[in-house]
Structure 1
Amino acid sequence: MDSSQRVRAIVSFIQAVDAGSFAAAGRVLGLTSAAISKNVASLEKSLGVRLMNRTTRSLTLTSEGEGFLRQARIALEALDSAVDMIAARRAVPSGKVRISTSAAFGNDHLLPALPALLARYPALSIEVDFDDRIVDIVKEGYDIVIRGGSIADSALVSRPVCKLNAVLIASPEYLEAHGTPKKPSDLNNHRLIARRFLGGRVSPWIFKAADGALTTLDPTDVAVLTLSGPEALVQAARDHVGIAQVGVHLAWEHLRNGSLKVLLHEQHQPGSYEMVMQYPHRALMAPRGQVTVDHLLAAFSGDENLHVTIESLGAYAV
């Protein structure tokens, strides 16, 4: 199989997977169902493995097919980017950049960074989805995702944005009414606000004793309120409902204005999570994507709310 045949076969394979059938892939590519089937069969023969199992009603990828599909998409992205690079020599970065991020981070940190980007590159258009679920960046057609945590995926580049240090917070009014916990065990007698992630997992609270031993508290054991949105936890704490664990970047403004206080500062562990920006591996990234990544990373690095040190929180502790 020569290079041109291989490319046609790979395109047929990817389109068949995306469309769900050889017939549907043929309609998209302007080929017959038989031609798509022949191309995929030739590709499998040249590779010496079966990429998909066929029935009259469905196509199912084999494990080899799933791995090949991932790498094939990267290869086609590289070809598209090569074309974009040539075009970029004659034009400024242009086109749509699709971004997925959480509602909290998007509203507080991404949106404020976009006006300067659009002013600098007026031919760009930005589409942002505020979605707390984990998206399939390649299959769903996103250029960039910004998420808490580091998602292991060999097809994605991860660029660190900031550490996601956690902190325990409560309002002064709540503490005046219910008292201030002095040790982790005191929390069992308080009104706690828990966070449950969309997948069902509850965010634990971790503490370090003087001897270095770690203890974990499941806040749902005594929680009076369980929420999925991190910004909602901050609001509930500000409304004097109880004690919550949130990311420092979400609470920083309210700590500075005195509407929230830090609890158990010396004992509570901030965790090891981080916010990352992710995008597909590309030999040559499209100019529209590259300037967006560069601009956002620079904007986030200068956003003081994202880089509050644990040491500085001592001034707001009770």
Structure 2
Amino acid sequence: MDQLLAMRVFIRIVDAGSFAKAADSLNLPRSSVSKLLQDLEQHLGTKLVERSSRALTITAEGEAYRDQAVDLLADLDAMDLSARSTRSVPRGRLRVDVGSSLANLVIIPALPDFRRRYPDIDLLLGVNDRPVDLVGDAVDCVIRGGELSNSSLIARRLCHLEYVTCATPEYLAAHGMPSHPSDLHGDHVAVSYFFPQTGRILPLQFARDGDPVEIEPRSAVSVSESTALTEALLAGLGIGQTFGFSARPHLETGRLVSVLEDWTPRSHPLHLVYPATRHQSAKLRAFADWAVEIFSGMV
């Protein structure tokens, strides 16, 4: 048994949640993946994964072994990398998934600089606002906002994303300027974001003096994509909260007007996220360093 390969297979099975996804992402036959896990369990004398017809469940022993295996393989990868030439050129295909507003307004305009620096990297840029399965979808990294819940992933913080509560002058002339978030329950309607997986509409979130407030006004239009949210605001369909970097050009020209400025809208950190087993990739490291650079100082 190739124990290092078996360890990598075991980690991939756990992260992917199935033998089939693990086999596909590793380009191995499913029978080989199953055999390697069986051999590893036999070698260790313990069950790492409980199998059923519907799901895989990692055992307590498997969880402890996985955490140690991730650290060990990361160290081995680092040793291999340091033994190679430090002048190796980042090259090859790199798949990155990013939300639509960030892709269209930040990443893509800066890509000529990335191409000049790294002409041997072929970038596959997935543009969507949906959650991504890093292992199952064979994605090298994602750029996403919010707090991280998966401890098996590595995250590099890029910036802190601020939101702006705004509407068009025409909308405000027709409906009035709100002075308190609760005013949005009156004659106002909202342009909202909804989660495509569940259909849940994200409430408008505010804070002042440390006290959070959530408001759920009637939504005239709800969209599941961040660029469309800004466009709906520009169309005068209601009041809403959109990324500061997306609204800023329109605030400067007067097409949008900031409202409820005494109340801080929601905000969250932005991270570049990737699996622990890929953190030594030269092409991924090059992209991550570049992303940190272009997002530095962004609000």
TM-score (norm: length of structure 2): 0.81
Conserved? CA contact 1:193–1:243, under 8 Å: yes
Query: What do residues 23-45 of structure 1 show as CA deviations (whole Å, max 9, x unaligned)?
Result: x79x9379979964651332341
2:98 is aligned to 101
How far off is 1:265 after superposition? 0.6
TM-score (norm: length of structure 1): 0.77
Secondary structure of 1:279's counterpart equals: strand
34-43 vs 228-237, which deviates more?
A: 34-43
Over the residues paired in the alignment, what is the CA RMSD in angstroms? 3.4
Aligned amino acid, residue 136 of structure 1: D
Following the alignment from structure 1 to structure 2, what is the Cα–Cα distance between the partners of residues 91 and 30? 34
Distance 1:7 1:34, change over 3 A: same
196-205 vs 6-15, which deviates more?
A: 6-15
1:256 is aligned to 252
Distance 1:129 1:206, change over 3 A: closer
Conserved? CA contact 2:12–2:135, under 8 Å: no
1:163-174 map, 5 Å = 163-174=160-171
Query: What do residues 37-71 of structure 1 show as CA deviations (whole Å, max 9, x unaligned)?
Result: 651332341xxx3112357x788343333564465
1:310 is aligned to none
How far off is 1:139 after superposition? 4.0
Secondary structure of 1:91's counterpart equals: coil
Following the alignment from structure 1 to structure 2, what is the Cα–Cα distance between the partners of residues 10 and 270? 45
Large movers: runs of 4+ above 6 Å: 15-19, 29-34
How far off is 1:280 after superposition? 2.9
Distance 1:59 1:84, change over 3 A: farther
Secondary structure of 1:164's counterpart equals: strand
87-96 vs 57-66, which deviates more?
A: 57-66
1:93-132 map, 5 Å = 93-132=90-129
Following the alignment from structure 1 to structure 2, what is the Cα–Cα distance between the partners of residues 261 and 59? 50
Following the alignment from structure 2 to structure 1, what is the Cα–Cα distance between the partners of residues 9 and 195? 38
1:296 is aligned to 291
2:3 is aligned to 6
Matched, 1:145 2:142: yes
Following the alignment from structure 1 to structure 2, what is the Cα–Cα distance between the partners of residues 153 and 32? 27
How far off is 1:270 after superposition? 2.2
Q: Name the larger-Rg structure.
A: 1
Distance 1:131 1:72, change over 3 A: farther
Query: What do residues 243-283 of structure 1 show as CA deviations (whole Å, max 9, x unaligned)?
Result: 111121221111111100001111x2222412111223369
Conserved? CA contact 2:204–2:240, under 8 Å: no
Aligned length: 290
2:184 is aligned to 187
Distance 1:5 1:191, change over 3 A: closer
Distance 1:13 1:108, change over 3 A: same
1:281 is aligned to 276
Following the alignment from structure 1 to structure 2, what is the Cα–Cα distance between the partners of residues 107 and 133? 16
Question: Unmatched 5+ residue regions in structure 2?
Answer: none
Question: Unmatched 5+ residue regions in structure 1?
Answer: 308-318
Distance 1:96 1:227, change over 3 A: same
Aligned amino acid, residue 243 of structure 1: I
Distance 1:139 1:82, change over 3 A: farther
How far off is 1:173 after superposition? 1.4
Following the alignment from structure 1 to structure 2, what is the Cα–Cα distance between the partners of residues 98 and 78? 24
Distance 1:284 1:145, change over 3 A: closer
1:42 is aligned to 42
Following the alignment from structure 1 to structure 2, what is the Cα–Cα distance between the partners of residues 213 and 291? 41
Conserved? CA contact 1:6–1:43, under 8 Å: no
Distance 1:167 1:198, change over 3 A: same
- Aligned to 1:270, which of 252, 262, 265? 265
Distance 1:290 1:235, change over 3 A: same
Following the alignment from structure 2 to structure 1, what is the Cα–Cα distance between the partners of residues 9 and 95? 25
Distance 1:296 1:240, change over 3 A: same
How far off is 1:5 after superposition? 5.4
Aligned amino acid, residue 276 of structure 2: H
